[in-house]
Structure 1
Amino acid sequence: MGMVISCSAAYCIPNSGILGSVAWGFSSVFIVLDLVGLSWFYCMVSGWTGFDGVSLLMAMLVVLVPTMSLVSSVGDYKFSEMGSNGKELGEVIYLISLVCVIFFVMSNWMDFFFFFEFSLLPTFWLILKWGYQPERLQAGVLMLMYTVCGSLPLLIIILMSWNESFTDSFLLMKLMGGNWEYIQSWVCILAILGFLIKLPVYLVHGWLPKAHVEAPLSGSMILAGILLKLGGYGLFRFVWVFEMKMSGALMFIVVISLWGGLVSGLYCLTQSDLKALIAYSSISHMALGLGGILSFYECGKMAGMCLFFAHGLCSPALFSLAASVYDWSQSRSVLLSKGILRVFPLFSVFWFLMCIVNMGIPPSLNFFSEIFCAGSLVYLSVFFVVPLVLMCLFTGVYCMFLYSVVNHGACSEMVKPMFNLSERYLYSLVYSLSILMGGFLFLSCFMM
C-alpha cells in the first residue's frame, strides 16, 4: 500500500528539477523498505553470506550515505586528467562502501572480523590524504590505535568460541545455544570492547572528534553515517548469536554510556568548532542506542537499530551543512560564521529542520526510536530516568544553540554572499529529510 502511494505521488509530480527527483528517490527508497520488511528471519544465502532485516537496513544505509557524500563533496572533484584527486577520492569512497556492504552480509565470525577491521584502512587513507590540517596524521594514527587495540580481545573471544563449538557460523552457534560462561561474566566487557570503541562509548571516544575535525567532508559523512554503525551492528549480532543476558558488567557499561552521553551533550555547549560539536553529539545518540540494545528487550533492540539508521542519515546531513558554512566563510568557527539567515535564508531553513530532527521532533524516526529506547531503559531500571531526562534536555539545548549561533546574530564579515550557489547540498538534505520525516509511515520496516 505504501509502495503504491509513493509511486503514484512520484508519477503525479512533474519530473523536472529537484522536486521530481526527490519524489522518485523517495518512492524507490520505500519500495526497498517494503522488500526489507519481508525479511523477518535470518536467511543463509551460502556458507559465507546471510542476511535478515537488520542487515538489509544497514546495507541500504551504506548505499544512501556515500551517495549523499559524493553529491555534497562534488566541489572536491576535478574532472581533468586521469589520476586527479577527485577520481582517487571517489575510488576510496567506493571501496569503503563495498567493504561495509560485505561486512553487513557476512555470516561467519572470521570474515566478519576481517572486514570489520579492514574498513579502517581506506578511512585512514581518506583522512591522511584529503584532510585539511597538518594534525591529520595524528588523528588517523589515534583512530587506528584505539580500534585495533580494542579489537584484539574480541578476536581472542571469537577464537575461543570457534575452538569450543568447532564452527564460526552465526546461525550454527545460535542453534547450539551460544550461552557460554565467559560471555556472561566480566570478560564480556573485553569481548565487546572493539564494538564499544567503534560506536564510540564515552571514555573510549578520544579518537572520534579528532578524526572528524581532520577528515574531509566525504570522510566525515562516511565516518558518522556508516563506520560508527559497524560497532552498533556488531554488538547487535554478538548479543544475538551468544544469547547474552543482563549482568553486572553490562549494567556497568549501560550506566557509563548514559552518563557519558550526558557529559558529551554538556561538552557540545562549549565547542567553537562546528564539526567537533556535531561529532560530540554523535556520542550522545550512540549512548542511547547502545542502552536500547543492552536492555535486552525486543523493543529496545529494534529501536536501537532504528536509531542507528536515523542517526546515519541525520549526522551526515549536519556535516554537509557545516561544510557549506566552511565554503562561504573559510572557517568552521561559530564566531566567524554568524548571520547565515541574512545571506542564505534557504540554507537556514535546512539548518533548522536538521537541528530539530537531530533533537527528535515527532514524527521523525529519531523520535520513535528514542522513545522506545528510553522506555526499555526505564523498564530495566527506574533510576535511568534521571540521565535520560537530562540527556533529552541538553540535546534540545545544544541543537538550538547550534542553529541559533550559526544562523542568527550580526552577519560576520567572513560570510560572503554567493549568487551562483550550487544545489548539491540541497539534494542530499532533501533526500535525508524525506526519509527521516516520512519513515514513520513504514515504521515496521525500520523496527524488526
Structure 2
Amino acid sequence: MTRLLGALHDAAEQTDAVRDPDSSLSRHQLLERASAVAAGIAGRRMVAVRATPTLDTIVVITGALLAGVPVVPVPPDAGELERAHILADSGAELIDARVAGPDRGVPGEPDPGAPALILYTSGTTGPPKGAVISRRALAADLDALAQVWQWTPDDTLVHGLPLFHVHGLVLGVLGPLRIGSRLAHTGKPTPQAYAATPGTMYFGVPTVWSRVCAAPAEARALRPARLLVSGSAPLPAPVFDSLRELTGQAPVERYGMTETLITVSARADGERRPGQVGRPVPGVETRLVGDAGDPLDEPDTIGHLQVRGSTLFDGYLGQDRPEGWFATGDVATIGADGWHRIVGRASTDLIKTGGYRVGAGEVEDALLLHPAVREAAVVGTPHPDLGEQITAYVVAEGATERDLIAWVADCLAAHKRPRTVRLLDALPRNAMGKVQKGALR
C-alpha cells in the first residue's frame, strides 16, 4: 500500500467509517471533506490544529496529510503559555475544519520521507519539544502493528483517547485510515461509553482499564471484543488480572514513545504477561546498555533501553536526525526469551539505594497487591547514607505506613522496601493517565 492513508482512497462507500458521539462520516465523505481542507492549505509550511476529540479534528489532520503539509496537534486543554510555546516554536498557523479551497480532486501522494506530524513531548526535562515524524515512519509502524495485532479491515476500533498523542492519533485514527477498519471515537474513555459501543478492538490507558474493572457490568460487555490494548503507562498487575477475569481475555500491552512510535508489543495470537510488554515489532531492534554505554547481554539485567529501526522520528524541530541507536531514557529488563519489562524512566524510576539498583515499578506492583491500596507511585529521594531511599506515595484505605512497609518487605527483598510511605487522596496524573512523579517530588 503506497499511500499513507491507503484505505481512505478506496472508492467503496463505507457507512460510518469514522464516528464520534455526535456525527459520522463514510470513507467517501471523509475523503471529500479532507480534500477540501487540503486544497485550502496547499503550499503552507506547517499548520496546527486544536485537537479536540471530534470528527472536525480528524478531517483537518487528514486534509493536512493529503496535502503533504506537516501538522501540529495542539492539546485542547493546553494553557496559554503551553499553546504559545508550541505555536511559536513550530511557526505553525492555527487552522480549523472550515478551511477549504477550490475543488482540485485528491492530491497526489507526497514523498514518503516528508514530515507528516510534529508531536510535542510532555516537557518533563524542559519546554516541550517538537518531534518530527515522517510519513515513512508512520506507515512502517502501522503496518507492523497490523501484523502483530492481526488488525484487518474487518475490525471496528473503539476508543476515547486524546487526538494529540501517538496512542489516540497515530494508532487510533491513522491506523484505521491506513488499514481500512472502522473507527468509533467515544468522546471520553468512560466504561459506560466503551460498553455502549460495539467493537472488536478497544484502546485504553491504565486509568481507563482500572475504571472499566471498577464497573463489572460494563467490563463484561467487552467480552465479544477480540483485542483490548493498553499502553502509554505500565498496567498494574491487579488491573491486568481483573480485566482477564471480567472480559475473558488478558489485555495486550505495548511500549513506545513519541520519538519512536510503538516499538515493542505482545502479539494477538501469543502469550500475554502482566508487567511485561512483549517483543520488538517487525522492523525494530532493541538492546540494553549500562551506565557507561556498554551493551548488557545477561538476561533480566536492568539497563538503559535503546532502540533503532524504521519507526524512529527524524529528530526534534531544528535539530539533526538521530543516527544509530536511540536512547529512550527508560530502563528495562529483557528476558532470555526476548520479553521486555519496562522498569520506568531512568530519571525517576531507577533508584540507586545502598549499592542496589531497584526498579520503582516492582515496588509499585507489590504495593498494589495489598487489598487496601488503590494507587501507588514510588520514587527515590535523597538519603545521607543510602544515596537514595525508596519513598512511596500511596492512595489506600485502612492501611498504615508501617503496614505497607512490612507488606513490601514480605513480598520482595528487604532492600526493596520503602523507607517512607506517604498517604495521599489521589496521585497527580496527566491527560494520558501517567503519574506525574515530578509533582510528587
Calculate the TM-score normalised by the size of structure 1.
0.28
* Greater strand proportion: 2
* Greater helix proportion: 1
Calculate the TM-score normalised by the size of structure 2.
0.28
